[in-house]
């Protein structure tokens, strides 16, 4: 059953077809909630669709992992203003929280503020975005035609109208495939774990005493390696595509000490032989293994090492090769995306991991985030496409700028202010590939020299 629902809100737009419609935000992660807070401050109404059962449901899946940024860089100013009105106090700014802390001390209280709570639709997955009665081929009157979002909720499909759309749905549910070709392996899916398994908690039995192959050269891989090393009798191999894991073995000039510490500890475990580093390994396929580990027959990663055929057996593989945006729901939207990074065209050169570290990405806002589709924006993690360099502070400034634009403060929207911590994780030198040390910096397809 498909219904069309119009939310009742005060008129904002002079255009009669857009009057009374809210701005639709896709995803109640930290950036989606921040977008809503900024829009409400400017008197624009908003509805937030969240596929999960709670705000921050992607973060809930890596709640056991500690962020490398301290609280100072994790709080959005407009969201803080909403929270402080409820008597909330900010956590200690110097301390780096876990994902669980971020949820409990910030996102959950924010989602429960009187301003946001009635506007969040939980369990509501946006499956498509279009214009009312107008697919992407129709040009006439496009800007004045309401957006139409198809939303699935508890077995019911509803079409919802909106005057503008901000897609902050992240990339967590679309990890990069394991193979160097960027395609899913045809077999072995039951032996591959993606993302950040809770190795020392929930997922312990899957890894304890096993032969584990971790693939990827970013901080997700590093976090998993550190946890695996704490499990006795677990054999750990670590496959990367480049000759060195320079992005994990961080520099002393990283202004985020928690991130520097992760790299240092992994470096030591490699040096002592606890972790076997297999560099220059490009995986082409996963096959059944004829060697059996403690858990029976395992899998074999087949490919090339420095160009020579090579294979590695394991009981379980952790795919930590990064993420890519889900663009399927945006098929009817006119997007202007870079061919390589899949970020907005004007943003892509600013975040190219071959050139920029997390700290050197220049501040940017609506001017760089604009698509050919009027009043449609991708912000947050998803706006970086396949680039791994995203930081929350960047996303908060993105949505502040977008909110100003939608509130007709075009000048304010184009003044962007952002100071990010410099990092020694990713050199700006293309010579060592310059890939960023953000959590999942292993995208296989960004630029020619990007590593994983």
Least distance in angstroms from the C-beta of 365 to ligand FAD: 16
Least distance in angstroms from the C-beta of 133 to ligand FAD: 22
> Are the CB atoms for 73 and 391 separated by under 8 Å?
yes
Query: In the complex with ligand FAD, which residue's Cβ is closer, 197 or 395?
Result: 395
Looking at residue 179, what DSSP letter applies? S
Query: In the complex with ligand FAD, which residue's Cβ is closer, 13 or 130?
Result: 130
Query: In the complex with ligand FAD, which residue's Cβ is closer, 441 or 450?
Result: 441
Least distance in angstroms from the C-beta of 438 to ligand FAD: 6
**DSSP strand E in 316-439: where?**
316-319, 376-378
| Helix 77-84 / helix 392-406 crossing angle, nearest 10 deg | 80
Least distance in angstroms from the C-beta of 220 to ligand FAD: 6
Coil, strand, or helix at residue 427? coil
Least distance in angstroms from the C-beta of 122 to ligand FAD: 9
**Residue written as tokens 């009187």?**
114
Query: In the complex with ligand FAD, which residue's Cβ is closer, 28 or 301?
Result: 28
Q: Which residue has the closest beta carbon to ligand FAD? A: 29
Least distance in angstroms from the C-beta of 392 to ligand FAD: 4
Query: In the complex with ligand FAD, which residue's Cβ is closer, 19 or 60?
Result: 60
The residues that bridge with 241 in the sheet, in sequence order, are none
Question: Residues 6 or more apart from 141 whose CB is under 8 A from it?
Answer: 134
**Residue written as tokens 């020694």?**
424
Rg (CA), the chain: 22
Query: In the complex with ligand FAD, which residue's Cβ is closer, 49 or 377?
Result: 49
The C-alpha atoms of residue 99 and residue 243 are separated, in whole angstroms, by 31
- The pair phi, psi for residue 39, each rounded to 5°, is -65, -45
- The dihedral over CA atoms of 72, 75, 76, 82, expressed in degrees to the nearest 10, equals -120
CA 251 to chain centre: 24
Query: In the complex with ligand FAD, which residue's Cβ is closer, 57 or 370?
Result: 57
Least distance in angstroms from the C-beta of 46 to ligand FAD: 14
Which is nearest to 76 in space by CA: 124, 21, 128, 39?
A: 39
Give the interface with ligand FAD as residue ranges (CB under 6 A).
26-32, 49-52, 56-59, 62, 65, 67-69, 73, 125-126, 168-170, 172, 196, 220, 329, 380-381, 390-392, 395, 439
């Amino acid at each position: 059953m498909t219904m069309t629902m119009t939310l009742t809100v005060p008129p904002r737009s002079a255009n009669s077809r857009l009057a009374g419609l809210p701005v639709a935000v896709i995803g109640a992660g930290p950036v989606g909630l921040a977008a809503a807070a900024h829009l409400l401050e400017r008197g624009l109404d908003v509805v937030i669709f969240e596929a999960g059962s709670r705000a921050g449901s992607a973060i809930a899946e890596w709640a056991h992992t500690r962020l490398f940024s301290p609280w100072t860089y994790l709080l959005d100013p407009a969201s803080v203003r909403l929270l402080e009105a409820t008597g909330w106090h900010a956590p200690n700014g110097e301390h780096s929280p876990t994902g669980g802390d971020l949820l409990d001390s910030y996102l959950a209280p924010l989602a429960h503020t009187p301003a946001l709570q009635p506007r969040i639709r939980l369990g509501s997955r946006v499956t498509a975005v279009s214009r009312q009665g107008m697919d992407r081929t129709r040009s006439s009157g496009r800007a004045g035609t309401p957006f139409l979002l198809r939303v699935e909720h508890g077995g019911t499909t509803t079409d919802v109208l909106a005057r503008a759309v901000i897609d902050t749905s992240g990339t967590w549910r679309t990890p990069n495939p394991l193979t160097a070709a960027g395609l899913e392996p045809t077999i072995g899916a039951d032996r591959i774990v993606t993302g950040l398994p809770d190795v020392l908690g929930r997922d312990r039995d899957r890894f304890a005493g096993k032969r584990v192959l971790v693939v990827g050269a970013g901080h997700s891989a590093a976090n998993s390696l550190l946890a695996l090393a704490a499990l006795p009798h677990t054999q750990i191999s670590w496959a990367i595509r480049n000759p060195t894991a320079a992005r994990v073995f961080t520099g002393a000039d990283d202004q985020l000490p928690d991130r520097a510490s992760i790299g240092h500890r992994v470096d030591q475990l490699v040096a002592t032989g606890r972790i076997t580093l297999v560099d220059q390994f490009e995986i082409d396929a996963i096959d059944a293994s004829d060697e059996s580990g403690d858990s029976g027959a395992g899998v074999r990663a087949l490919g090339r090492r420095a160009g020579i055929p090579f294979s590695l057996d394991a009981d379980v593989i952790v795919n930590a090769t990064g993420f890519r945006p889900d663009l399927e729901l945006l098929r009817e939207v006119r997007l202007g995306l870079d061919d390589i990074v899949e970020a907005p065209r004007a943003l892509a050169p600013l975040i190219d991991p071959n050139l920029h570290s997390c700290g050197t990405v220049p501040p940017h806002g609506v001017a760089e985030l604009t698509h050919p589709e009027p009043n449609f924006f991708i912000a947050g993690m998803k706006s970086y496409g396949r680039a791994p360099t995203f930081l929350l502070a960047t996303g908060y400034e993105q949505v502040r700028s977008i909110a100003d634009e939608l509130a007709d403060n075009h000048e304010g929207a184009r003044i962007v202010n952002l100071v990010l911590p410099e990092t020694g994780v990713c050199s700006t030198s293309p010579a060592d590939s310059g890939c960023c040390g953000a959590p999942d910096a292993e995208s296989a397809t960004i630029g020619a020299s990007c590593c994983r």
